[in-house]
Amino acid sequence: MEKSIIVSGFGGQGTLFAGQVLAYAALDAGKYVTWIPSYGPEMRGGTARCTVTISDEEIGSPLTRNPAIVLAMNLPSLDKYEPLMQPGGLMLANASLINRKMDRSDVRGIYIPAARMAEEIGNPRLANMIMVGAMLAAEEVLPLDVVKEALENHLPERHKKTLPMNFQAMDQGAAFVKDAIAA
């Protein structure tokens, strides 16, 4: 199993952090992993994305031209990565900021109101963890418990107080997708 994942959005949406959490979880689970961040010069509001490749075997190249999974946190990310995705891939789109449906019919698209859900939890910065939870429920990449454990083990001590809300966000993202698939 090798999965290439792109998490993309505006700076400040936690795209790099979401990818880092996945990378740490994959390492902790004994997988091979690459994590490549990319961001513009702006601190917030510019583009930010990362590529995470998780595999059971050594990874030949960390570069990803045709991702299997994309977490699109905003419309420019959907516009950029939809044409590049592998047929049969999975696009998770933040429906709170994306106002169009996908053009491709050979890619599974799941629309999650992640920003709205994060605000309901009480922290708009949790949309990234809602998207991570949703991805883990939609695609067998890593078990949700492994990702939660990695977050707990690798989060700096000064941020440990945010763990309950991060766990809640992942759980709600996973539940949203399970309900959507069951419907």
pLDDT number for residue 41: 62
How many domains, the chain? 1
Residues 54-101: tens digit of each pLDDT: 999 999 887 888 999 999 999 999 999 999 999 999 999 999 999 999
- CB burial class (10 A; 0-12, 13-18, 19+) of residue 155? middle
Q: Which residue has the tokens 């083990």?
A: 153
Average the pLDDT over each of 27-41, 119-133, 140-154 and give the range with the smallest value.
27-41
Look at strands 47-55 and 32-39 and give their pairing: antiparallel
Q: Which residue has the tokens 């996908």?
A: 102
Cα 149 to the center of its chain, rounded Å = 17
Cα 147 to the center of its chain, rounded Å = 12
Residues 28-49: tens digit of each pLDDT: 999 999 999 987 665 556 678 9
CATH code of 22's domain: 3.40.920.10
Q: pLDDT-based confidence at 183, cuts 50/70/90?
A: low
Domain span at residue 148 reads 2-182
